[in-house]
Chain A
Amino acid sequence: MSDGKLVGVVLVSHSAAVAASVAELAKGLAGAGSAVPVAPAGGTEGGGFGTSAELISAAAASVDRGAGVAVLTDLGSAVLTVKALLAEGDELPAHTRLVDAPFVEGAVAAVVTASTGADLATVEAAATEAYTYRKA
């Protein structure tokens, strides 16, 4: 389905630093040369802790290559804002999905999977599967 186009990944956190760092980590673990478009959308436009619908919309538009966009979030207003934007219908690119996944582990799984040219459903499944890895 992807005909060479890569799924984009958006990482939404209450903190700009967390979103940017997780994006960097996921891209780093996907390996050098990975062309997966990944964009952080962290904090408010003013640089504080919170969620910005504008930053999320801009990030999603920036990673849309036509193969769909997977959005991962941390908690609370990040989840609710993405859901509200999806319900709006025209605020996010077509084939944008809120992925139910742990933020850090899910981001790594999503970006690594997207780097193989997998489609959106496969990227989503890989990110969600990260929940099943038990640490203790």
Chain B
Amino acid sequence: MLDADFFHRWMTVTAASVDREAERLTALDSPIGDADHGTNLQRGFRAVRDALDKEPPATPGAVLTQAGRLLISTVGGASGPLYGTLLRRAGKTLGDAAEVDERRLAEALRAGVDAVMQLGGAAPGDKTMIDALVPAVDALGDSFAAARDAAAEGAVATTPLRARKGRASYLGERSVGHQDPGATSAALLIAALVDASADTEAGGE
């Protein structure tokens, strides 16, 4: 079972991954975006980490709801409302339960991904974070590791796609040949589930 500590670690590990990969995310965002994805997400997830550390929420749902709210208010780019909606909707779906199983988590993330698609109007194949998130959620029923791999593959698979949403869509054919920054950061978020659960099994922090 996954408790509030697990979800707290998930966010902490994500914040560390985003810190580590911020330059790469911004570099990916330079040819087809406005070169701020890494710094924007870094600001957002640092705010999440600091707030959760200061006052750890009591339930899995509360961790994700608070994280989502903070991302919306601190990121400053489109990834803020998109990631914020993903986590907030997932958190609301988890409700007040003190612990949830992997299946509940998968259902909640599915609801979050649906909300993101509704908010941004993106579908699979549009060269967005959805291209990493949908295969990840599909694979969550197997294991966190399977979801991590599916998300990473989904992110790489955005390279030949032509962008149909966001600023990159104005570039048309010129967006082809670049890996999507949003799908790349989404893969970091999913990969962090593995590290957060590895810490549980090791009995560590």
Contact = CB atoms under 8 A, between A and B. Distances in A.
Interface of A: 44, 48-54, 76-77, 80-81, 83-85, 87-88
Contacts of B74: 53
A51 B84 contact: no
Contacts, number: 49
Nearest to A54: B73
B80 A53 contact: yes
A53 B40 CA distance: 14
Interface string B44-82: 000000000000000000000000010011101111111
B77 A88 contact: no
A92 to B, nearest CB: 12
Contacts of B120: 80
B37 to A, nearest CB: 12
Contacts of B72: 53, 81, 84-85, 88
Contacts of A51: 76-78, 80
Interface string B105-149: 000000000000001100000000000000000000000000000
B190 to A, nearest CB: 21
Q: Interface residue tally of chain B, by bracket?
A: 20 to 34
Contacts of A77: 76-81
A17 B37 CA distance: 23
Given A50-B36, A88-B69, A80 B76 contact: no
A84 B78 contact: no
A81 B80 contact: yes
A87 B77 contact: no
A37 to B, nearest CB: 23
Given A76-B166, A76-B167, A88-B69, A83 B81 contact: yes
A10 B78 CA distance: 19
Given A49-B34, A76-B167, 18 more contacts: A48-B76, A50-B36, A50-B76, A51-B76, A51-B77, A53-B72, A76-B78, A77-B76, A77-B79, A77-B80, A77-B81, A80-B81, A81-B72, A81-B81, A84-B80, A84-B84, A85-B72, A88-B69
A18 B72 CA distance: 22
Nearest to A51: B76
Contacts of B73: 53-54
A133 B34 CA distance: 31
Given A76-B167, A84-B72, A87-B85, A50 B119 contact: no
